[in-house]
Amino acid sequence: MTISVIANFKAKSDQKETLEALLKSVIEPTLKEEGCLKYELYISENDASRYFFLEEWRSREDLDIHLASDYIQSLFGNIQSLIESSDIVEIKKI
């Protein structure tokens, strides 16, 4: 069974462009990861400071390897001062 994730980040009002650039910077290396089936970045039509990653992974192990990667750990460390909030939710079809 695959693992699907929605990751939600709300930028501070003066940090939108910086956050967007950092989020975009992890797309290419993530798509090259073994086990990455989908990794897409979206912006809310109702709130231009809210970003969403829609992800799909082949397995829990693949997602865990992704989360432990140097560039994702760096992203998490660098965005803390740029965001008001974040939420990462695993989802499944019903």
Reported as a single tens digit per residue, the pLDDT across 11-26 is: 999 999 999 999 999 9
Q: What per-residue confidence (pLDDT) applies to 92? A: 86
Distances (CA, A) of 2 to 62, 63, 75, 76, 94: 10, 10, 24, 24, 13
Spatial CB neighbours of 9, under 8 Å, sequence gap ≥ 6: 19, 23, 50, 51, 52, 79, 83, 85, 86
Q: What per-residue confidence (pLDDT) applies to 93? A: 81
Mean pLDDT, range 40-57, rounded to an integer: 97
Mean pLDDT, range 67-91, rounded to an integer: 95
CATH topology of domain 3-91: Alpha-Beta Plaits (3.30.70)
Confidence band of 34 (pLDDT split at 50, 70, 90): very high
Q: Is residue 89's pLDDT more than 90? A: yes
